[in-house]
C-alpha cells in the first residue's frame, strides 16, 4: 500500500494561494485528511494511471472527487477532462471545474466534455472558502455514487 492510496479528493490547482484556501476550507469540515494536491494536469493523469511519481499507487483506488482548475501548465483542465471522461475506468469520477474563467466557451466545452459542475472562483477569499466547503460537503457527504 502506498501513501497515495485512499485519496478522496484530488485537487488540481497550480496557484498556491487558491490551493491553500481550498485546503483550509476543506479542513474546517474534516475533509482535508484524504486530499492530494497536484499542480498540473499531467500530474492528474499520472495519479489516476498510477504512473510517474504515482507508479507505486494501487490502481483500484480512484478519488471520489477531482477539483480541477482549467488554466494549468503541462496539460490544461479541458485536456484532463477529455482524457478522464473518455476512459471507462475514470469516466464516473465526479469532476468539478473550479476556475476564474467566466468565458462561455470554457463553460460550454467543460460540460460537453463531461464535467459534473462548473464553479467560477469567487474573488473574495471568504466567499471562495465557503464555496469550496459547500462543494466538499456535497460531493463527499451528501452525494452517492456507484461503487
* DSSP track, 81-110: HHHHHHSTTTTTS-EEEEES---HHHHHHH
CATH superfamily, domain 9-140, is Response regulator (3.40.50.2300)
Lowest mean pLDDT among 39-48, 65-74, 121-130: 121-130
Q: With cut-offs at 50, 70 and 90, classify the pLDDT of residue 3.
A: low
pTM: 0.90
The span from the CA of 26 to the CA of 38, in Å, is 16
pLDDT (tens digit, 9 = 90+) per residue, 90-101?
A: 999 999 999 888
pLDDT at position 81, please?
96
Amino acid at each position: 500500500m502506498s501513501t497515495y492510496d485512499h485519496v478522496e479528493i484530488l485537487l488540481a490547482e497550480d496557484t498556491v494561494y487558491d490551493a491553500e484556501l481550498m485546503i483550509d476550507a476543506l479542513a474546517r469540515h474534516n475533509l482535508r485528511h484524504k486530499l492530494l494536491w497536484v499542480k498540473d494536469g499531467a500530474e492528474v493523469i499520472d495519479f489516476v494511471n498510477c504512473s510517474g511519481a504515482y507508479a507505486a499507487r494501487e490502481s483500484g483506488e480512484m478519488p471520489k472527487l477531482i477539483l480541477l482548475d482549467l488554466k494549468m501548465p503541462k496539460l490544461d483542465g479541458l485536456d484532463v477532462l477529455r482524457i478522464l471522461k473518455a476512459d471507462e475506468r475514470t469516466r464516473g469520477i465526479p469532476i468539478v471545474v473550479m476556475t476564474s474563467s467566466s468565458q462561455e466557451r470554457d463553460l460550454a466545452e467543460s460540460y460537453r466534455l463531461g464535467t459534473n459542475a462548473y464553479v467560477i472562483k469567487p474573488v473574495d477569499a471568504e466567499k471562495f472558502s465557503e464555496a469550496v466547503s459547500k462543494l466538499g460537503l456535497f460531493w463527499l457527504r451528501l452525494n452517492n455514487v456507484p461503487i
